[in-house]
Amino acid sequence: MHQGWSEYGLDISFIEGQALRDLSGTDAYKTATVVKSGGCIQPLSYSRELARVATEQGADIYSCSPAISVTPDNRQWQVTTPAGKVTSDWVLFCTNGYTDDTLKGLKQTIVPLISVQAVTRPLSDAEYNAILPEGHTLSDTRRVIYYCRKDNHNRLLFGSLGMSEQCNAADRKRLHKAIHHVFPQFSAADLDVYWGGRLAFTPEVLPHLHEPAPGILAGLGYNGRGWQWVPSWAGFWPNGYRKSP
Ligand SMILES: Cc1cc2nc3c(=O)[nH]c(=O)nc-3n(C[C@H](O)[C@H](O)[C@H](O)COP(=O)(O)OP(=O)(O)OC[C@H]3O[C@@H](n4cnc5c(N)ncnc54)[C@H](O)[C@@H]3O)c2cc1C
């Protein structure tokens, strides 16, 4: 992985031993790569800021207003929602793991997966300084990924894949085991709030951009990792959709 990305010109370094323990605050991993251009965002703040900027530029935002159908209308597209219709030259589908049947066949290009996450109680100064002291986000390469970062309320966010968007009891139990495996100083009692949602998995673990008809674009398949594990069902593509180059 390190060599492959380096060949593509990414500023990525390989670490192990004490350097890895110091940077992560855990003994759970033997080797790691550090991507200097990587970073993390607070997704809700990011969404709110996008909405603010878009509104400032004249966009209208309607929530709780799902597109039910998209039909051709005199060289344009008509989008129908439960409460009204919009006609436009362009329609963008950005529905990722929540993709439904509005655009025929699009749902079949991804596999929706559930990601679940929990946040710890606020960390003590000693805990805060020992874990990811330089503010990195950590994610591992196990097939059912573990990932974590600290937030700006001095807490540790820890996640993995799960079974229910509500992060059910089985998901919580797995998160307890996972965080204890990576950071043995934490147990179930240290986790405070749990949640979950969907992401979209693709056969080759890369995002896709489709143009199934002129004026319609669909961008989806954000896997959160983007590396080369390819499952045996890669190669299946529904009619009308091509694999990204
Ligand atoms: C707990 C959790 C942790 C995650 N952690 C990471 C991480 O660490 N790193 C990372 O890279 N990614 C992570 N992800 C994945 C990341 O959140 C998604 O990849 C990202 O949100 C996708 O953004 P999006 O805008 O494409 O789709 P989404 O944010 O999923 O938005 C899709 C929207 O489309 C709407 N929609 C669906 N159908 C219709 C319709 N017919 N009409 C109108 N609207 C419709 C849905 O209501 C939804 O609001 C995580 C996800 C979860 C749930």
Alpha helices in the chain (DSSP H): 2-7, 17-24, 43-56, 125-130, 169-182
Between strands 91-93 and 191-201, the pairing is unpaired
pLDDT tens digits along 153-172: 999 999 999 999 999 999 99
Q: Do domains 43-110+203-220 and 111-201 have the same CATH topology?
A: no
The answer for 202, left when phi > 0, alpha when psi is -120 to 50, beta otherwise, is beta
Arithmetic mean of pLDDT, 38-45 = 91
What pLDDT, on a 0 to 100 scale, did the predictor assign at position 241?
56
The answer, yes or no, to whether any atom of ligand 1 lies below 6 A from the CB of 147, is yes
Please tell me the least confidently modeled range out of 41-45, 91-95, 234-238: 234-238
pLDDT tens digits along 50-88: 999 999 999 999 999 999 999 999 999 999 999 999 999
The answer, yes or no, to whether any atom of ligand 1 lies below 6 A from the CB of 117, is yes
The answer, yes or no, to whether any atom of ligand 1 lies below 6 A from the CB of 96, is yes
Place of tokens 């209308």: 73
pLDDT tens digits along 172-190: 999 999 999 999 999 999 9
pTM attached to this predicted model: 0.89
Q: Residues with Cβ < 8 Å from 236, sequence gap 6 or more?
A: 203
3-class DSSP assignment, residue 61? coil
- Please give the Cα distance from 152 to 138 (Å, whole number): 16
pLDDT tens digits along 210-222: 999 999 999 999 9
Exposed/middle/buried for residue 80 (C-beta within 10 Å: 0-12, 13-18, 19+): middle
- Please give the Cα distance from 88 to 16 (Å, whole number): 53
What pLDDT, on a 0 to 100 scale, did the predictor assign at position 231?
46
User: What are the C-alpha distances in Å from 150 to residues 3, 34, 36, 164?
Assistant: 28, 17, 17, 24
CATH of domain 43-110+203-220: 3.50.50.60
Q: How far is ligand 1, taken at its centre, from the CA of residue 97, in Å?
A: 6
Query: Beta-carbon neighbour count of residue 52 at 10 Å?
Result: 10
Task: Compare 60 and 242 and report the one with higher pLDDT.
Answer: 60
pLDDT tens digits along 194-204: 999 999 998 87
Task: Compare 223 and 139 and report the one with higher pLDDT.
Answer: 139
Domain ranges, ordered by start, for the chain: 43-110+203-220, 111-201
Query: Beta-carbon neighbour count of residue 149 at 10 Å?
Result: 19
Q: How far is ligand 1, taken at its centre, from the CA of residue 177, in Å?
A: 26
Share of the chain above pLDDT 70, in %: 91
Contact 28, 179 (CB under 8 A): no
The answer, yes or no, to whether any atom of ligand 1 lies below 6 A from the CB of 197, is yes
Q: Which CATH class is domain 111-201?
A: alpha beta
- Please give the Cα distance from 195 to 177 (Å, whole number): 17
237 pLDDT higher than 90:
no
Of all protein residues, whose CA lies closest to atom 19 belonging to ligand 1?
222
Which atom of ligand 1 lies at the shortest distance from residue 222's CA? 19
Q: Which residue out of 63, 95, 99, 139 has the highest number of ligand 1 atoms within 8 Å of its CB and is therefore the one to mutate?
A: 95
